[in-house]
Each structure stands twice: as structure tokens, then as C-alpha cells.
Amino acid sequence: MSHECSIVEDLLPLYKTKGLQADTTEFVEQHLATCKHCQQLAATKLSSNQNLSMKSTLTFFHLVFIVLSFMFALNSSLLGEHKSFVALYALFGCLTYLFYKNIWIVFAISSIPVFVWAIINNFSNPLYIHGVSFMDISALIIGASYIALLHTIFALLGSAFAIILRRF
């Protein structure tokens, strides 16, 4: 097994999902054309479902960050007039970006749980729901969207700080 074999072995999951640049794909295909060991390895790796992409798996850490987001949403709704959620969500966004290095994950983890919590928390609030009508439900959804957007803005500001921090 050569040095190239270990490189190709590391690249096979990305090769399978077409996640490589054209030059790297060409390198892998040229190596696979000449190396029997890597051909067998590719056949077993390409046929197994062990190497799912990170986007299609839900890891323990995803759950931890989602639970943290729910806890921050709960905390900010219980604090009422206190604005500590600003610092909490900025810190949360910074840590989430440093961990995942993906702004879309920061957006999803900081907005979706808050949106869900805002709907659950305000479903029995007479300010939003008087009965079960389209207007009441739409007011609830608009209010939950506003709250989620507000929290997400602070998380994105925290992730912007993380991006700047990573540059230095």
C-alpha cells in the first residue's frame, strides 16, 4: 500500500458523494484505474452505507446544540424584560460556528428551535389566540417568526465574530 493509497482511502467518501473538485476526482480515478487494492476498497466503501455525509446524519453534537438553543429560548422568554438573551445568543452563535464552521447550521440551530418554542409558548396566550381562526394562527406564526429572527440575528452576529476570530 503506497502513500497515494492512504490519500485515496481518505478521499473515497467524498468521491462517492461527488464532493471533490475536478482535479481531485481525476487523481482518484487515475489511481483507481491502476491500483487493485484501492479498487477493492472503493467497491466495499461505495457499496456500504457506513460513510454517510455529515449533512445526512444527526449527531450527538447536533442534539446538544439544539437542546441549548431550546434552553436559551426558554430562558429568554422567562426573563421577560431582561436582555441577556442577546449575549447568550451571540455566544451561542460564536460557539456553533467555531464547532461546525457552517453559517447555515448556525442559522438553522438558532432559528428553528426558537420558532417552535415561541409557537408552543404563545399558543395559549390570549394576545395571539382567541379562537381557532386563520387570523389568530397567522398572528401566532408571524410573532414566532419575529422572535426567531431576532434571536437568529444575534446568533449570526456571534458567528460573524467567530469568522473574524478564525481569520486572526
Which tens digits make up the pLDDT trace of 17-42? 788 899 999 998 999 999 998 888 88
The answer to whether residues 27 and 104 belong to one domain is no
Is the confidence at residue 50, as pLDDT, over 70? no
Supply the mean pLDDT for the chain: 78
Please list the alpha-helical segments (H only) found in the chain: 3-16, 22-34, 36-47, 60-79, 84-100, 103-122, 134-167
> 113 is in which domain, residue-wise?
58-167
Q: What is the pLDDT of residue 58?
A: 56
Using pLDDT thresholds of 50, 70 and 90, give the confidence band for residue 94: confident
The answer to whether residues 150 and 113 belong to one domain is yes
The answer to whether residues 33 and 68 belong to one domain is no
The answer to whether residues 64 and 144 belong to one domain is yes
Contact 158, 92 (CB under 8 A): yes
The answer to whether residues 28 and 83 belong to one domain is no
Number of domains in the chain: 2
The answer to whether residues 72 and 150 belong to one domain is yes
The answer to whether residues 127 and 153 belong to one domain is yes
Contact 94, 158 (CB under 8 A): yes
Q: What is the mean pLDDT of residues 90-107?
A: 85
The answer to whether residues 99 and 16 belong to one domain is no
Q: What is the pLDDT of residue 106?
A: 86
The answer to whether residues 19 and 31 belong to one domain is yes
The answer to whether residues 89 and 27 belong to one domain is no
